[in-house]
Amino acid sequence: MRLRTKGEVVYEVCVYTGLVLGILVCLIPVLNIVAKSLSGESYVVAGDVGIWPVHFTTDAYNIVLGSPKFLSSFRNSVLITVVGTLINVTLTVFTGYALSRSRLAGQKLIMMLFVFTMLFQAGIMPTYLVIKNLGLINSLWSLMLPGLVSPFNMIIVRLYFYNIPDSLEESGKMDGASNIRILFSIMMPMAAPVIATTALFCAVEYWNSYFDALMYISDAKRLPLQVFLREVIMSVSDASNNIEMMAQTQVAQESIRGAVVVAATLPIVLVYPFLQRFFVKGIVLGAVKG
């Protein structure tokens, strides 16, 4: 049995109070904005909404979800996220696997090329000029390609492959399988947790990225969700600008902002619990071994 000294009790109290406090700090601002998005206008303006909706209404959602620009930007973001993640993860796995085979000539040099880009970047403007010269301005590709391949993700994946016992590769070789075949049928199934982790990181990054679109996209039809959100949030703060949005109904600005936040975050919150167990395991493995 554990001894309960006074110090022990004080300690336990500290730990649990601290954690409960941390949980509340993370949770309350989110609950508050969700509650505001679902509350009646006068209550929001008066500041009477806590973490539970007052005078429940979905007017703000009708406005946001009914906007054609919302639908098109949502579609763009889904496209960027799905296609971008597929390409990105595929290339990360390919590169990581090739570089995990130490017999590969030039392996060390190429690793250095990747690591160097973590230490030194060319900067915003030279990258912009390359995108421009490739004719990618106003193309959704400009939001998917430049991030290929994240050295950080690649190193984690590489390490994972590196730690898979050689005997597995050799047994594949005995059966006359090519390297590509070995990767697909032996290595990738074994690396599923780390691949899922990488996919989640990539997807979140594509979904949330804003600055790239600000740089490379000006065509309204091609804007991703985050830029649309920002526009809505800025325009509802500016009373002269929000006629289109607010003409029909009495909806508080903060409710519209809240609805926008919820609509953009929901996809992430929905996949999050499923992947959480997976990625915590994956990143812990990477951190300990690395």
Residues 73-112 close enough to bind another protein by CB under 8 A? 91-92, 94-95, 97-99, 101, 103-105, 110
Chain positions 250 to 279 lying near another protein, rule: CB under 8 A, are: 254, 257-258, 260-261, 264-265, 268-269, 272-273, 276
What mask, x for binding another protein by CB under 8 A, covers residues 54 to 73?
A: --------------------
Q: How far is the CB of 265 from another protein (least distance, A)?
A: 6
**Stretch touching another protein by CB under 8 A, among 52-60, 61-69, 114-122, 185-193:** 114-122
Q: How far is the CB of 230 from another protein (least distance, A)?
A: 5
Judge whether 185 and 266 are in contact, CB under 8 Å.
no
Q: How far is the CB of 208 from another protein (least distance, A)?
A: 4
Q: Which of 52, 71, 44, 77 is nearest to 236 (CA)?
A: 44
Is 7 near another protein (CB under 8 A)?
Answer: yes
**Site size with another protein, rule: CB under 8 A:** 95
Q: How far is the CB of 165 from another protein (least distance, A)?
A: 18
Question: Residue 81 is encoded by which pair of tokens?
Answer: 């996220």
Question: Residue 227 is encoded by which pair of tokens?
Answer: 């830029």
Is 18 near another protein (CB under 8 A)?
Answer: yes
Question: Residue 267 is encoded by which pair of tokens?
Answer: 């996809």
Q: Which of 248, 211, 215 is nearest to 226 (CA)?
A: 211
Is 135 near another protein (CB under 8 A)?
Answer: no
In the set 226, 235, 245, 251, which binds another protein (CB under 8 A)? 226
Q: How far is the CB of 132 from another protein (least distance, A)?
A: 9
Q: How far is the CB of 48 from another protein (least distance, A)?
A: 9
Distance CA 242, CA 262 (A): 20
Q: What is the DSSP string of 148-178?
A: PSPHHHHHHHHHHHHTS-HHHHHHHHHTT--
Q: How far is the CB of 69 from another protein (least distance, A)?
A: 15
In the set 56, 66, 126, 171, which binds another protein (CB under 8 A)? 126
Distance CA 146, CA 137 (A): 12
Chain positions 160 to 199 lying near another protein, rule: CB under 8 A, are: 178-180, 183
Nearer to another protein among residue 72 and residue 208 (C-beta): 208
Q: Which amino acid is at 56?
A: F
Query: How many other C-beta atoms lie within 10 A of the C-beta of residue 95?
Result: 19
Judge whether 159 and 284 are in contact, CB under 8 Å.
no
Judge whether 203 and 216 are in contact, CB under 8 Å.
no
Length of the chain measured in residues: 290
Distance CA 158, CA 180 (A): 15
In the set 67, 78, 137, 146, which binds another protein (CB under 8 A)? 146
Is 204 near another protein (CB under 8 A)?
Answer: yes
Contacts of 236 by beta carbon, 8 Å cutoff, 6+ apart: 242, 245, 246, 253, 256, 257
In the set 71, 113, 239, 266, which binds another protein (CB under 8 A)? 113
